[in-house]
Chains A and B, each alone.
Chain A
Amino acid sequence: MTGAGNDRLNRSGAFRSVRTALLLPSWLVIGVFLLVPVFLMLVFSFLTKEFRGGVIWEFSLAAYDQFIFDRGLFGDEPPTIEWTYITIFCRSILQAAVATVLCLILGFPTAYFIATRDSRHRMVWLFLVTVPYWVNLLIRTVSMKFLIRDNGPLNELLLALGAISQPLTLINTDFAVQLGLFYSYLPFMVLPVYASVERYDFSLSEAAADLYAGRWTILRRVVFPVVRPGIVAGCILVFIPSLGAFLAPDLLGGAKNFMIGSLIEEQFKGNAGNWPFGAAVAMILLSMVLIALMIHARQQSRTEVG
């Protein structure tokens, strides 16, 4: 919109130095609080572990080796593939994916509903959606545990309604973790989807109806494709933190539903941990996320041009 004006401003040297000065604090904050810790983790992952936590400053690939290979209890057997951690990764991806789909199924209609309200009421609805998230995540997760336990309110309600005759076992299941993740990150889906539906031009829906498209076809062929950036953003914002989450799996999933987040957490907790291994797992997770995002960005730019 103001492209021409910006170009002219960009070309003037005085403006550029002012801009640099103004941006400097942001760069410092990002550098110190984001890049330095990630870099530290990268370094730690290539060091040797100290038995009581911490690291010895000695280069080692042991952490990555431990992730991939099983060399027996004393490390002297021929290496075979270590499935434990790969399984945890796969389970985490699956759990995060299910949580993302749940968020989308509930979040899209919610966002659509809010975006189609009278503009005076939209802020109220958005506010209501975010209210539960003012409470600490730990407390929310614990209350979820309370809600779905065997003799909790949910089971009692279903029993009273006669929908079930036996209490459902929900706690310590995959589903409980998915539910917990879904509830933890729902607003991360609702808000970006809302932002793009709010900008959606509803005369496009009218045009589609005018051209003989029914309600569902309009949603599938016109609304979804046009608001796709918002949906993708929402999915990324839910999927990534779900992948590394440890509260929901710890509290709702029990021991057999271990996820990456818990695995990393274990390595840094108390005296039993293994810092280089925790750092290596974190780096593997980070690289996977970055690669996925890069593939997405490339596809995005390709469809924009094409």
Chain B
Amino acid sequence: MATDKQSIAVEIRNVGKRFGDFVALSSASLSIPDNEFFTLLGPSGCGKTTLLRLIAGFEDVSEGQILLYGQELEGLPPHKRPVNTVFQHYALFPHMTVSENVAFGLRMKGFDKSRINETVQRMLGLVHLEKLADRRPHQLSGGQQQRAALARAIAPGPKVLLLDEPLSALDLKLRQAMRLELKQLQKDTGITFVFVTHDQEEALAMSDRIAVMSDGTIQQTGDAREIYDNPLNRFVANFIGEANFIDAELAGKADGLCQYRLPNGHIVSCGGAAPAPSGSKRVILLRPEKIGLIADPQAGGLEGVVSQAVYLGTDTQYRVKIDGGMSLLVRCQNFGSDMSRFRTGDRVGLRIEDGAARVLAD
């Protein structure tokens, strides 16, 4: 990741936004390098669209600063900002054809006719809409409208492209295909993408880096692996993937890992530990797929009874009632043989590798 000032495309410094008394965004800070596919991920209503609208200039910040390649954007109206937006519901101009829609931004920039025509053709080729150039938006399918909106937004050659849940209106198969296409498009054009979604799978599949948001605050920023393997808090861990949360107490240290005591007295070695005094209480995270199930429990290991088994095709998801109270979610891949499968009521042992569990910071 580049840290050089020049190569930071979007910098957001302590930005806050209030609507009346309602705080939609509070002291958000982000630094998005040039040429990155950056994703804002969070549940509906957490302020993702608000942050995007602040960058585009449709709303004014209540506090803080937004910089584009080092230039302060405050006071600059939307039509003077070198960013373009793909709107959630596309907002294609209904009275114009697809090519007129794509040409709109180029016309506004005052390019000459031949350059406009050439660029429109190139953009339509990029999104595979050459044959539909003369259609009106209402004569297009959802996926085609989405491509038209994309072509319209990248045609003027923005430095930064803002995308507000562009795939959410599409059906699953199309959505999955478009993920790859969008990612490829970002690589080919070299435009910095700021992509908004509430779909964690989408975020993991496409992004160079992700910022997880909730309730108007940015919870954590990092690449997919960091966010998944090393979530800072319970919200992030829960929002991305599945999670078991266990209240535990610091018992000691060994081999650079912290030893935490579970409520039933069992000790697990956890990674990602923050320094803490012995005996302090923490929440530890155990991902369901990081737990192994074994048929014949070993002495001193964790043991339990399968209380639920759900077959999911590639995986089976188990709920295991551990001796001593708690209940854990476990996810095992289905191998060829039937040997590795368990039924409700089976007694199983649980294997947790050292460092598979993570301590949450708060």
Contact = CB atoms under 8 A, between A and B. Distances in A.
Contacts of A222: 93
B104 interface: yes
Contacts of B235: none
A209 B94 CA distance: 16
Nearest to B89: A203
A225 B58 CA distance: 22
A207 B93 contact: yes
Contacts of B80: 212
- The secondary-structure label for the interface of chain A is helix
B58 A212 contact: no
User: Which of B56, B83, B87, B91 has most chain A Cβ within 10 Å?
Assistant: B91
B77 A209 contact: yes
Residue with the highest number of chain A CB atoms closer than 10 Å, among B57, B77, B85:
B85
B225 interface: no
Interface in A216-273: 217, 221-222, 225-226, 228
Given A206-B78, A207-B85, A212 B91 contact: no
Contacts, number: 58
A211 B91 contact: no
B156 A211 contact: yes
Interface in B88-118: 89, 91-95, 104-105, 108-109
Contacts of B84: 210-211
A201 to B, nearest CB: 7
A63 to B, nearest CB: 45
Contacts of B79: 209-214
Nearest to B58: A206
B56 A210 contact: yes
B94 A211 contact: no
Contacts of A209: 57-58, 77-79
Contacts of B153: 210-211
Interface residues of B, number: 24
B91 A217 contact: no
B89 A212 contact: no
A192 B95 CA distance: 19
A208 B89 contact: no
Q: In the complex, which of the residues A210, A212, A222 has the most CB atoms of chain B within 10 Å of its own CB atom? A: A210
Interface residues of A, number: 18
B152 interface: yes
A96 to B, nearest CB: 28
B91 A201 contact: yes
Contact of B95 (A211, A212, A226): A226
A202 to B, nearest CB: 9
A35 B105 CA distance: 52
A203 B84 CA distance: 13
B95 A206 contact: no
A94 interface: no
Contacts of B56: 206, 210
Interface in B39-88: 56-58, 77-80, 83-85, 87
Nearest to B155: A211
A130 B94 CA distance: 32
Contacts of A228: 95
Interface in A12-62: none
A209 B93 CA distance: 12
Interface string B214-226: 0000000000000
B93 A204 contact: yes
A204 B91 contact: yes
B83 to A, nearest CB: 8
B95 A208 contact: no
B76 to A, nearest CB: 12
A206 B94 CA distance: 14
A210 B78 contact: yes
A304 B240 CA distance: 47
23 contacts: A201-B91, A203-B91, A204-B91, A206-B56, A206-B58, A206-B78, A206-B91, A208-B93, A209-B77, A210-B56, A210-B79, A210-B83, A210-B85, A211-B79, A211-B108, A211-B156, A212-B109, A212-B156, A213-B108, A221-B104, A222-B93, A226-B94, A228-B95
Can you list the 10 inter-chain pairs with the closest CB atoms, starting with the nearest?
A: A211-B105, A212-B108, A207-B91, A209-B78, A203-B91, A225-B95, A210-B85, A209-B79, A212-B79, A213-B108
Interface of A: 201, 203-204, 206-214, 217, 221-222, 225-226, 228
